[in-house]
Amino acid sequence: MTRLGQLLLVVAAAGLWGSSRLTWVEVTSFDGLTHPRTDELTGATWSTALIPLALVVLAAAVAGLAVRGWVLRILAVLVAAASAAMGYLAISLWVVPDVAARAARLAEVPITDLVGTERYSTGAVLTLVAAALSLVGAVLLLRSATRGGADAARYTRRRTEVEEPGAEMSERMIWDALDAGQDPTTPDNKGR
């Protein structure tokens, strides 16, 4: 489950990087002296947080290899928050009624020379998909962190069931049982 979550995070990071390379807004301007000029604003220009969010998600995927327990839970919550930020960036392109003023400022065009703007949804849709994938990846990491704690508790519970009253199972006995091909946690073996 952890590996699947990490894979989803890597795919989400790649999606964010791809989205940052796509055109989000196209700005057309004309100053009356030269030919009309068209500037394409990529996702990295329009939403400067795309690449840092991609790096955060990619780093979380790699960190999932090294951390367990409550640290993995915190990491999953941070990735979920990052996915909310990604969703905000994608949806903001659609809900802003007029992107002309911001587009002119980003393209470094005087607002008086602005002829028109056009929005392209492909990058925003890809960002929204990346947000969904990273959210699912965060949930899988959270579930694997919770399940890992349950596995440890089950091992501890089985080990106490195996031990005879007054006789403690030493680490050497556990290794001897494992070398013999027996599971020291099952009650019928008792590690011997």
- In a domain, residue 131? The reply is yes
- In a domain, residue 22? The reply is yes
Which position has the higher pLDDT, 186 or 65?
65
Span of 19-28, 46-55, 100-109, 169-178 with lowest mean pLDDT: 169-178
- In a domain, residue 189? The reply is no
Total domains in the fold of the chain:
1
The string of pLDDT tens digits covering residues 87-129 is 999 999 999 888 999 999 999 999 889 999 999 999 999 999 9
Range of the domain at 154: 2-163
Span of 26-30, 83-87, 139-143, 148-152 with lowest mean pLDDT: 148-152
Give the per-residue pLDDT at 70.
87
Q: Is 14 helix (H, G, I), strand (E, B) or coil?
A: helix
- In a domain, residue 172? The reply is no
Alpha-carbon distance values, 57 to 22, 83, 129, 175, 179 (Å): 19, 9, 14, 39, 40
* pLDDT greater than 80 at residue 64: yes
- In a domain, residue 95? The reply is yes
The string of pLDDT tens digits covering residues 148-190 is 554 555 555 555 555 554 456 677 778 887 878 787 777 665 5
Give the per-residue pLDDT at 191.
46
Length reported for the chain: 192
Q: Is 170 helix (H, G, I), strand (E, B) or coil?
A: coil
- In a domain, residue 191? The reply is no
- Report the predicted TM-score, pTM, of the whole model to 2 decimal places: 0.72
CATH number of the domain bearing residue 20: 1.20.140
- In a domain, residue 151? The reply is yes
On whether the CB atoms of residues 163 and 169 are closer than 8 A, the answer is yes
On whether the CB atoms of residues 17 and 51 are closer than 8 A, the answer is yes
Of 29, 48, 31, 49, the C-alpha closest to 40 is 29
- Strands in the chain per DSSP E: 23-29, 37-42, 114-119
DSSP for residue 35: -
* Residue 191 token pair: 């590690």
